[in-house]
């Protein structure tokens, strides 16, 4: 069996030759960071290491090097053997994994390490490592840390000890299981004492009426683990930055002193008081407690209330959603902001396990949360990461759910059926399933329902054409109907009735009811912003919107794009000039990439500042647009249309 162990540089050359049909000297040189002259020497050494009856390195007429494999079985043995030898770094197959490894390696060093030594250690080329280190630079910058490069010497991470620990928490000790493995593998504390430590902390927290969750305990153990590992290597907190000093005035600081005493007792060591700051950070950065009695005892400062009001004002200015009347949202959001601000100011990062699902399924709440994030960033000069935006979106999501559920407010409904009581009862049963069990339904024949009787009902459902004239919304149905389609039609009738528009029973969606040829634009500009400006200018020229509206939309777009997938962008803002919600469409000549997302259709929403529109109506309009974005086939058909009549037909058939 052939088991030749090759030096790292030689093996990199062999792998490059094996993975490519031909490689020039310059490619080897770039990857290894050495001269072409050195590469020639390495190639010669490699051929000496591997017998020519197994593989031969051949130089072609166009100065490329390639392999001539003569014994495939033995050559495979050489490759497999050397790959196994480097197995401890086999997990470093992508930049993210290598970055985590580099941060772990460099944070733990008190001395300088050379790039060549790191490349040798990680079994990667010098060029690859240099690229990875640039990404490490960006990560370190998020924590106020720097990667010092010293000429002819090496590299080393420098910065505040607390910030060093925070980056360890994000990249190395990311879970409770990571913490346990690190504690045991570094002989910091054994399994028995870990359990003892954890149990005593939980008991003390309960005694102090502190809200406990599994997530909180897991995070506490992570922080304690990193603290103990750093102390073991003589890396202690020796000074505090200004933002951390305020922790000493918090109620949680007292709990931190108790936890410090427990650790000292279990470990048999003395811990400096400055370490309490680090212990307290997960307590300050936790999510809002679930227990109402804990929340009632929480004092929300004027700074939080002021921030919440600024968020609501900006949300209204951008979307027309008036949130001030929703007491549940106000309370929940203020409690959330209390803890979220702690995390942001202290640079504590928590992963949001629901983020992907929130972005996909709760697009409107996420868009509102992005507006809130911009307010926080401007006011506190911090970066609100996507994980935090996702948590904010959950609060706005509850408001939007309530508004959506309240949209169809029907207490009494008439059902007109010409085929007898049995069919009428079946229809009533199915209708209750869609719009609510608590609605009072009454069945009539088409002859029994008069105009006078009809006025006693909020809505009429009928299987036949009615000859009466009434202002009550009428929905034409069949005994077998599509539930989602019917709900859309009911919502459309509610909208039309509120606007006193002519009711056409064939219209099933609010967007169809709003559609107007004057509001559909076919655009040919080369950039997204130019197309958007062209739409806005046309609406201003037609005296539909104000110049102030254009400024709001453009300013919002510059701060954060409204492109959210499905080939759609949804710029929106309030305009004092309009009395009703207006939806305009811009069909782009070709797809344009905006912030990594392809956009082919701009849906511009104009919201009145003072309107008879209910908040539920605005929410439903937003949701219908977002639902449209989820139907890529329909959106693609809309983008392919060339004139208004085609656009109207496609929108009506979705």
pLDDT, the chain, mean: 84
- Element holding 460 (H helix, E strand): strand 459-462
349 vs 541, higher pLDDT: 541
DSSP 108: T
Would you say residue 612 has pLDDT above 50? no
Confidence of residue 294 (pLDDT cuts 50, 70, 90): very low
179 and 208 in a common domain: yes
> Is 1 within the bounds of a domain?
no
Confidence of residue 271 (pLDDT cuts 50, 70, 90): very high
Confidence of residue 420 (pLDDT cuts 50, 70, 90): low
As for how many domains the chain has, the answer is 6
Across the range 322-343, mean pLDDT stands at 88
282 vs 654, higher pLDDT: 282
Would you say residue 378 has pLDDT above 70? yes
> Is 2 within the bounds of a domain?
no
Would you say residue 303 has pLDDT above 50? yes
The 10s digit of each residue's pLDDT in 115-144 is 888 887 777 778 888 899 999 999 999 899
Across the range 241-268, mean pLDDT stands at 90
pLDDT at 520 (0 to 100): 97
| Residue located via tokens 């904010």 | 392
638 and 533 in a common domain: yes
Q: How many CB atoms lie within 10 A of CB 417?
A: 23
Q: What is the CATH number of the domain that holds 531?
A: 3.40.930.10
> Is 3 within the bounds of a domain?
no
183 and 303 in a common domain: no
CB 305 within 8 A of CB 334: yes
66 and 21 in a common domain: yes
pLDDT at 280 (0 to 100): 93
186 and 266 in a common domain: yes
Distances (CA, A) of 579 to 515, 520, 612, 615, 625: 16, 19, 8, 14, 20
Across the range 243-254, mean pLDDT stands at 87
Pick the range with the lowest mean pLDDT from 93-102, 201-210, 522-531, 634-643.
93-102
Last residue of a domain, one of 342, 375, 405: 405
Give the range of the structural domain holding residue 77, as residue numbers without chain letter.
Answer: 8-85
Q: How many CB atoms lie within 10 A of CB 217?
A: 16
95 and 81 in a common domain: no
pLDDT at 295 (0 to 100): 42
Would you say residue 22 has pLDDT above 80? yes
Q: What percent of the chain has pLDDT over 90?
A: 35
Q: How far apart are CA 576 and CA 556, in angstroms?
A: 17
Q: How far apart are CA 295 and CA 335, in angstroms?
A: 8
- Name the percent of the chain in helix, strand, coil, to the closest 5: 55, 10, 30
536 and 504 in a common domain: no
> Is 549 within the bounds of a domain?
yes
Confidence of residue 372 (pLDDT cuts 50, 70, 90): very high
501 vs 632, higher pLDDT: 632
Across the range 257-267, mean pLDDT stands at 94
> Is 208 within the bounds of a domain?
yes
Q: What is the per-residue burial (b if ≥16 Cβ within 10 Å, else e) of 474-483?
A: bbbbeeebee
Q: For the chain, how far is it from start to end, CA to CA, in angstroms? A: 66
Would you say residue 215 has pLDDT above 90? no
- Element holding 477 (H helix, E strand): none
Residue 154: Cβ-neighbour burial (10 angstroms; 0-12, 13-18, 19+):
middle
Q: What is the CATH number of the domain that holds 470?
A: 3.40.50
Last residue of a domain, one of 35, 56, 85: 85
pLDDT at 376 (0 to 100): 95
Would you say residue 20 has pLDDT above 90? no
pLDDT at 406 (0 to 100): 59
> Is 43 within the bounds of a domain?
yes
Last residue of a domain, one of 338, 370, 405: 405
Would you say residue 109 has pLDDT above 80? no
286's CB contacts (< 8 A; 6+ apart) are: 213, 215, 216, 219, 339
Q: What is the per-residue burial (b if ≥16 Cβ within 10 Å, else e) of 356-365?
A: eebbeebbbb
Q: What is the CATH number of the domain that holds 249?
A: 1.10.1790
447 and 323 in a common domain: no
Tokens, residue 294: 């804990």
Q: How far apart are CA 193 and CA 203, in angstroms?
A: 15
453 and 389 in a common domain: no
599 and 567 in a common domain: yes
645 and 518 in a common domain: yes
> Is 145 within the bounds of a domain?
yes
The 10s digit of each residue's pLDDT in 482-513 is 565 666 666 556 555 544 443 343 344 788 88
pLDDT at 387 (0 to 100): 94
- Element holding 604 (H helix, E strand): strand 597-608
Quick one: which of 88, 82, 76 has its CA closest to 6?
A: 82
Across the range 526-548, mean pLDDT stands at 95
> Is 150 within the bounds of a domain?
yes
Q: What is the CATH number of the domain that holds 13?
A: 1.10.10.10
Pick the range with the lowest mean pLDDT from 126-140, 260-274, 558-572, 613-627.
613-627
473 and 418 in a common domain: yes
pLDDT at 97 (0 to 100): 80
| Residue located via tokens 């050195």 | 38
């Amino acid at each position: 069996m052939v088991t030749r162990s090759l030096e790292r540089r030689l093996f990199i050359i062999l792998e490059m030759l094996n993975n490519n049909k031909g490689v020039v000297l310059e490619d080897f040189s770039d990857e290894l960071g050495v001269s072409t002259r050195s590469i020639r020497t390495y190639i010669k050494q490699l051929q000496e290491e591997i017998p020519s009856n197994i593989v031969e390195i051949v130089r072609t007429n166009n100065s490329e090097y390639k392999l001539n494999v003569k014994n495939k079985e033995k050559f495979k043995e050489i490759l497999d053997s050397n790959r196994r030898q480097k197995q401890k770094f086999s997990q470093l197959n992508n930049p993210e994994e290598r970055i985590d490894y580099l941060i772990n390696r460099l944070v733990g060093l008190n001395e300088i390490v050379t790039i060549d030594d790191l490349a040798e250690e990680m079994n990667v080329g010098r060029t690859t490592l240099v690229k990875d280190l640039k990404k490490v630079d960006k990560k370190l910058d998020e924590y106020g840390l720097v990667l010092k490069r010293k000429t002819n010497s090496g590299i080393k991470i420098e910065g505040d000890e607390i910030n060093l620990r925070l980056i360890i928490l994000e990249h190395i000790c990311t879970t409770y299981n990571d913490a346990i493995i690190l504690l045991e593998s570094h002989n910091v504390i054994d399994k028995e004492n870990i359990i003892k430590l954890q149990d005593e902390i939980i008991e003390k927290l309960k005694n102090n009426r502190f809200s406990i969750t599994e997530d909180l305990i897991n995070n506490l153990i992570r922080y304690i683990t990193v603290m103990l590992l750093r102390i073991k290597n003589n890396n202690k907190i020796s000074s505090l930055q200004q933002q951390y000093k305020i922790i000493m005035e918090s109620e949680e600081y007292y709990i931190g002193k108790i936890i410090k005493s427990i650790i000292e007792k279990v470990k048999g060591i003395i811990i400096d008081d400055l370490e309490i700051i680090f212990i307290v950070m997960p307590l300050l950065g936790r999510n809002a407690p679930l227990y109402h009695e804990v929340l009632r005892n929480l004092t929300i400062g004027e700074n939080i209330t002021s921030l919440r009001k600024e968020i609501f004002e900006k949300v209204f200015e951008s979307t027309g959603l008036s949130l001030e009347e929703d007491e549940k949202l106000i309370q929940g959001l203020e409690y959330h902001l209390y803890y979220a601000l702690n995390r942001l100011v202290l640079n504590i990062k928590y992963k949001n396990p629901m983020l992907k699902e929130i972005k996909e399924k709760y697009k409107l709440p996420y868009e509102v949360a992005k507006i809130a994030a911009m307010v926080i960033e401007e006011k506190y000069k911090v970066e609100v990461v996507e994980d935090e935006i996702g948590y904010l979106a959950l609060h706005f999501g509850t408001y939007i759910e309530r508004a959506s559920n309240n949209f169809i407010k029907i207490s009494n409904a008439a059902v007109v059926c010409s085929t007898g009581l049995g069919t009428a009862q079946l229809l009533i049963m199915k209708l209750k399933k869609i719009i609510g069990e608590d609605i009072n339904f009454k069945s009539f024949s088409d002859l029994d329902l008069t105009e006078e009787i009809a006025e006693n009902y909020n809505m009429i459902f009928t299987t036949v054409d009615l000859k009466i004239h009434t202002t009550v919304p009428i929905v034409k149905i069949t005994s077998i109907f599509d539930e989602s389609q019917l709900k859309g039609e009911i919502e459309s009738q509610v909208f039309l009735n509120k606007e006193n528009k002519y009711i056409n029973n064939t219209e099933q969606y609010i967007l169809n009811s709003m559609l107007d040829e004057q509001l559909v634009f076919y655009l040919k500009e080369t950039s997204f912003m130019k197309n958007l400006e062209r739409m806005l200018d046309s609406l201003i020229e037609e005296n539909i919107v104000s110049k102030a509206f254009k400024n709001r939309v453009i300013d919002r777009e510059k701060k954060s794009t409204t492109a959210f997938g499905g080939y759609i962008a949804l710029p929106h803002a309030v305009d004092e000039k309009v009395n009703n919600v207006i939806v305009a469409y811009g069909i782009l000549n070709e797809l344009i990439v905006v912030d990594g997302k392809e956009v082919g259709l701009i849906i511009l929403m104009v919201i009145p500042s003072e309107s008879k529109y209910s908040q539920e109506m605005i929410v439903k309009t937003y949701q219908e647009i977002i639902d449209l974005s989820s139907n890529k086939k329909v959106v693609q058909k809309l983008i392919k249309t060339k004139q208004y009549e085609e656009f109207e037909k496609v929108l009506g058939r979705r």
